[in-house]
Amino acid sequence: MKICLLLIAAGLLICQTVQGGKTFSFEGYRLYRADPFTKEAAAVLRSLHDAYPSEPEPGLGLTFFNYPSHRNVKVDILVPPRLVSAFRKAVAGRPDIQLELLHRNYGRVAAQADRENRQFPRLMKRLRRAVRRSDQLILNHNQYLRYDQLLEAVNTLAQQCNLLRSNTCRQQEIGSAYEGRKLIVLRIEKSQTDKQKRKVWIDGGIHAREWISPATVLYMADVLISKGLNRRMWTPEVVALLDYYDFLMLPLYNPDGYEYSHSHYRFWRKNRQTNGGHPSQSRVCRGVDLNRNYGYKWGGSGSSSDPCQDNYRGTGPFSAMESAAVKRFVEQENSDKKILLFLSYHSYGQYVLMPFGFKRGAYPRPALSAGKMSCVAFFGSREMFATNHRFYIHGTSADVLYEASGGSDDWAHGSLEVPYSLTVELPDDGAYGFLLPPAYIRNVGSEAVRGLLAMLRTIHDLETNTNFYRTRCLAHTAASDY
Ligand code: 0X9
Ligand code: ZN
- 277 by Cβ neighbours in 10 Å (0-12 / 13-18 / 19+) ranks as middle
pTM here?
A: 0.92
If one residue of 290, 425, 428, 429 were mutated to test the ligand 1 pocket, choosing by the most ligand atoms within 8 A of its CB, it would be 425
Centre of ligand 1 to C-alpha 227, Å, is 31
Beta bridge partners of 343: 202, 422
Q: What are phi and psi of 102, to 5 degrees?
A: -80, -40
Side-chain-facing half-sphere of 56: CA atoms under 13 Å: 12
If one residue of 66, 261, 346 were mutated to test the ligand 1 pocket, choosing by the most ligand atoms within 8 A of its CB, it would be 346
pLDDT given at position 125? 77
CATH 3.40.630.10 boundaries in the chain: 140-481
Q: Where are the alpha helices (DSSP H) in 1-68?
A: 2-16, 39-51
Ligand nearest to the CA of 313: 1
425 is catalytic: yes
Q: What is the pLDDT along the chain (482 residues), one digit of tens a residue?
A: 333 333 333 333 333 222 234 689 999 999 999 999 999 999 999 999 999 998 888 888 999 999 998 998 899 999 999 999 999 999 988 999 999 999 999 999 999 999 999 888 888 877 766 665 567 899 999 999 999 999 999 999 999 999 999 999 999 999 999 999 999 999 999 986 777 899 999 999 999 999 999 999 999 999 999 999 988 888 899 999 999 999 999 999 999 999 999 999 999 999 999 997 655 555 689 999 999 999 999 999 999 999 999 999 999 999 999 999 999 999 999 999 999 999 999 999 999 999 999 999 999 999 999 999 999 999 999 999 999 999 999 999 999 999 999 999 999 999 999 999 999 999 999 999 999 999 999 999 999 999 999 999 999 999 999 999 999 999 776 556 67
CATH match of 140-481 with 3.40.630.10: yes
Centre of ligand 2 to C-alpha 206, Å, is 6
Distance between CA atoms of 144 and 114, rounded to whole angstroms? 10
pLDDT given at position 280? 59
Q: Whose Cα sits closest to atom 3 in ligand 1?
A: 291
Say if CB 374 and CB 357 are below 8 A apart: no
Question: Is the N-terminal amide bond of 402 cis, ω within 30° of 0?
Answer: no
pLDDT given at position 55? 84
pLDDT given at position 124? 81
Distance between CA atoms of 426 and 440, rounded to whole angstroms? 11
pLDDT given at position 13? 33
Q: What are phi and psi of 287, to 5 degrees?
A: 100, 140
Architecture field, domain 23-134: 2-Layer Sandwich (3.30)
Pairing of β 75-79 and β 169-176: unpaired
Ligand 2 ion: nearby residues, β-carbon < 5 Å: 207, 346
Ligand nearest to the CA of 356: 1
Distance between CA atoms of 456 and 340, rounded to whole angstroms? 10
pLDDT given at position 17? 29
CATH 3.30.70.340 boundaries in the chain: 23-134
pLDDT given at position 231? 82
Other C-beta atoms closer than 10 Å to the C-beta of 18 total: 5
**CB of 403 closer than 6 angstroms to any ligand 1 atom:** no
Say if CB 454 and CB 346 are below 8 A apart: no
Question: In angstroms, how far is CA 111 from the centroid of its own chain?
Answer: 23
Query: Which amino acid, 313?
Result: R
Distance between CA atoms of 452 and 341, rounded to whole angstroms? 10
Say if CB 206 and CB 255 are below 8 A apart: no
- 460 by Cβ neighbours in 10 Å (0-12 / 13-18 / 19+) ranks as middle
Q: Whose Cα sits closest to atom 10 in ligand 1?
A: 397
Centre of ligand 1 to C-alpha 206, Å, is 10
pLDDT given at position 5? 35
**Of 403, 425, 447, 463, which residue is the catalytic one?**
425
Distance between CA atoms of 64 and 433, rounded to whole angstroms? 12
pLDDT given at position 132? 56
Return the closest-CA partner of residue 370 out of 247, 474, 456, 245.
474
